[in-house]
Amino acid sequence: GAGVSQSPSNKVTEKGKDVELRCDPISGHTALYWYRQSLGQGLEFLIYFQGNSAPDKSGLPSDRFSAERTGGSVSTLTIQRTQQEDSAVYLCASRRGPNTEAFFGQGTRLTVV
């Protein structure tokens, strides 16, 4: 498919475990974003990658959260020692660059029990 792909679509994990969320952006898109959306809430910015520039990590809520983007394509968001407050839908988006619309994946619903 030509859209942004995220996996897994659902993840249930025990408190204290680490999780990895994956995002496959649209081919050729240089910009990639991660957002978090809690139930009934807006989009909380987490991190932004643009080409080869250093990522904007200003939205990561704690040092338990990290993300990388390999080869300018696939991105992985890692949450270490998960807490119940980490439960949310994690959305990934990509776009060709500034001034263009971003396309969102279907999200990963993370539940920490």
- Could you list the residues that contact another protein (CB under 8 A)? 31, 33, 35, 41-43, 45, 48, 50, 56, 58, 91, 93, 97-107
Instruction: Give the residue with the Cβ less far from another protein, 64 or 109.
Output: 109
Instruction: Give the residue with the Cβ less far from another protein, 80 or 104.
Output: 104
HEC profile of the chain: CCCCEEECCEEEECCCCCEEEEEECCCCCCEEEEEEECCCCCCEEEEEEECCCCCECCCCCCCCEEEEEHHHCCEEEEECCCCHHHCEEEEEEEECCCCCCCEECCCEEEEEC
Least distance to another protein from the beta carbon of 55, Å?
10
Least distance to another protein from the beta carbon of 63, Å?
20
Least distance to another protein from the beta carbon of 81, Å?
27
